[in-house]
Structure 1
Amino acid sequence: MKMRNIGEVISALRKQKGITQEELGNTTGLSRVIIAKIENNQRAVSLDEAVKLAKVFIIDVDTLYGFIEEEKYKTEKNTFVMAFKAKGMDSINLKEVRRIELLVDALFAQEEIRGE
């Protein structure tokens, strides 16, 4: 299953598990409104939130972000991946760089959410 963004991934995993947004929120300590905003790609997911969400689905954060369609990064011009690709890095390592980039983005989102 490949999705366009983390919100789609969370929505699909939640539905696959057969739980509501409210149940997911209660399990993770997030409100139903926050879950809805994340699923609708209206709100970023912090690293702490990603860890909590991944635990509910019994996967790790790397796997959670691994469901995002990998073709997306090939069309983005301002990414770490493009810089490493230009240096001749192989596709296996590029996937790892993309995952690290997603985690760094999550860290920045976490700082924004907290107002740091």
Structure 2
Amino acid sequence: MRTLSVKKLAETVTKLREEKGYTKEELGNLTGINRIMIGRIEREDFMPSIVQLEELGKVLEFDIIEMFTDREKTNSFVALRSEALNEAEEEGVDKLFKMMISLRQQIMLRRKFENESINNA
């Protein structure tokens, strides 16, 4: 399975932008991507759309196919826990798991309470 490498994209965009002497704002104007989003791409904090990726490739003169890498299929739990792309995503995944555990505990307590109610009746 081939996936877009955020790291490879970030390194390529930063390197080529600097080689061409563009500021983030200038690159943003040329590609139609907000300069803040350019910065986020360079920090590996934003995944551009295909249209945006094509524009970056056109302006910076790189082949977008080179930004994709092979990735083996992995267990989704492992992928979520170990391959989060940034700190905010890691926090989101941790929060999701905590909510799932909390929900499971509530279900178990509710069942126990219902069973005790039936046995005492």
C-alpha change, 1:10 and 1:56, in structure 2 (3 Å) is same
Matched, 1:78 2:81: no
CA offsets 1:56-102 (integer angstroms, 9 cap, x no match): 02233224x16xxx6xx57x6529xxxxxxxxxxxxxxxxxxxxxxx
The residue identity in structure 1 corresponding to 2:13 is I
Give the C-alpha shift of residue 36 in structure 1.
0.4
User: 5+ unaligned residues in a row in structure 2: which ranges?
Assistant: 1-5, 76-121
| Separation of aligned partners in 1, 2:55 and 2:21 | 17
Question: Which protein shows a greater Rg?
Answer: 2
The residue identity in structure 2 corresponding to 1:17 is K
Tell me which residue corresponds to 2:42: 39
Is contact 1:7–1:39 with CA below 8 Å preserved after alignment? yes
| Separation of aligned partners in 2, 1:31 and 1:52 | 12
The residue identity in structure 2 corresponding to 1:50 is L
CA offsets 1:3-39 (integer angstroms, 9 cap, x no match): 9431121111111111111100000011110100111
TM-score after normalising by structure 2: 0.49
Where is the strand percentage greater, Structure 1 or Structure 2? Answer: 2
TM-score after normalising by structure 1: 0.51
User: 5+ unaligned residues in a row in structure 1: which ranges?
Assistant: 80-116
